[in-house]
Amino acid sequence: MKFDFTEEQKSMMEVGRDFAEKDILPTQEEDEKAHHFRKETFKKMAELGFFGCVIPEKYGGNETGHLCAALLTEEIARVSASWTLPFNMQMWGPAFTILNYGNEEQKEKYIPALVNGDVIGAFAITEPNSGSDVAGMGTTATETDDGYILNGQKMWISNAQTADMSLVYAYTDKAKKHKGISCFLVDMKNNPGIKTAAIETKLGLFCAPTGEIAFEDAKIPKSALLGQKGDGFKICMWQLNNTRLGCAARGVGIARGCHEHAIKYALERTQFGQPIAEFEMIQDQLALMYVEYEAARLLVLKAAYEKDQGNIGNTLSVSTAKYFAGEAAVNASGLAMKVFGSYGYSSEYPVERFFRDAKSLQTVEGTSNIQKVIIARAILSK
């Protein structure tokens, strides 16, 4: 296996690293405390081409690929996990899904605007009583002569209160169970039937807006339907197989950030007359963090490479990467806190933020348990 990156990929990694250090890090702690989403930061990410990696030039993308997008996500996550959410909310989620399932009118309307940041995207799947059980959703889309009427509630939706458009999954025929779910491209602004509210009580990812959406007789046009009626579950699973790659890359970045900070601190902190890096138990923790980071990174790169080779439906590779990277990030953050001791528990250092942010990876885009179910079913069916 060849491990060399192309000059283009190396260049994009450098751009991502530089952006994270110069545009995110200086205000990171201030923004975390204020739960502040900086639109100027979001817009600059778009201007740098971060949201166009898997999108054709025809629609404003740069076609650098899934591997490049994963590498960029890692570079951002090692500084701030919050600022990797836009990769999923703009590119791997709405834009790439519309590219695969949309008609030409839908592609031209939404994809360029998502890529250049003129439109903030989202996708709405989870509900108060429906998480892992996607088919258990209660939101409905009732067809009328001139469109559909949405009713229901979505919960824990990234960008809910800031999004201009969202993929919304809803039942058009409950009798058909999961085959009765459809997907809609919903313009979130200036619709009296759509109300949003922020969720401020979450544990981490403070710079990434999260909220709930209420649809109360929200009228949308027939042109909002993505694909065919009843294709929603299929579209949802296809979309998650791509956004999970973004989550996995986020986990790799968090694990790397924890490891880098832990090494630096272990070399600087002295106890009993020597740097704590000299103690074998600290070395054990640093070594374990490194091994799991490297393993997670290779799994993510493999899954991304497969997609770039045309294997978009590589569910087993993606779920394996998502599961392991999420667990590695959580473990790395816990070990880093141990290395830092009492300071690891303090917001004076970033490892407590990494600890909080990492925990989300065991839940979002399919829990760790769901990933293990997917993996088991895939290997048993071979």
Residue 1: per-residue pLDDT: 63
| Number of domains making up the chain | 3
One domain for residues 263 and 373: yes
- Domain annotation covers residue 2: no
Contact status, residue 212 vs residue 155, Cβ threshold 8 Å: yes
pTM of the predicted protein model = 0.97
Structural domain harbouring 103: 7-115
In a domain, 367, yes or no: yes
- The whole-number pLDDT of residue 3 equals 74
Considering the domain architecture, whether residues 204 and 268 belong to the same structural domain is answered as: no
220 and 237 assigned to the same domain = no
Q: For residue 360, is it within any domain?
A: yes
Angle at 64 between CA 63 and CA 65, to 5 degrees: 90
CATH of the domain at 287: 1.20.140.10
pLDDT tens figures, 338-378: 999 999 999 999 999 999 999 999 999 999 999 999 999 99
Count H helices, E strands: the chain? Answer: 12, 10
* 173 and 309 assigned to the same domain: no
Domain harbouring 91, CATH code: 1.10.540.10
Q: 154 and 181 share a domain? A: yes
From 127, 292, 352, 365, the catalytic residue: 365
Same domain, residue pair 277 and 336: yes
**Token pair 């009732």 in the structure block, residue:** 142
CATH classification of the domain holding 171: 2.40.110.10
Q: 268 catalytic, yes or no?
A: no
User: Is 50 within a domain?
Assistant: yes
The model's pLDDT over 281-321, given as tens digits with 9 standing for 90+, comes to 999 999 999 999 999 999 999 999 999 999 999 999 999 99
The answer on 165 and 130 residing in a single domain is yes
Of all residues in the chain, the percent with pLDDT exceeding 70 is 100
| 1 within a domain of the structure (yes/no) | no
Cα-based distances in Å from 209 to 120, 126, 200, 258, 304: 11, 15, 9, 23, 26
Which one of 83, 98, 115 terminates a domain? 115
pLDDT tens sequence across 150-203? 999 999 999 999 999 999 999 999 999 999 999 999 999 999 999 999 999 999
DSSP 94: I
Domain shared by 60 and 142, yes or no:
no
- Note whether 345 and 281 are same-domain residues: yes
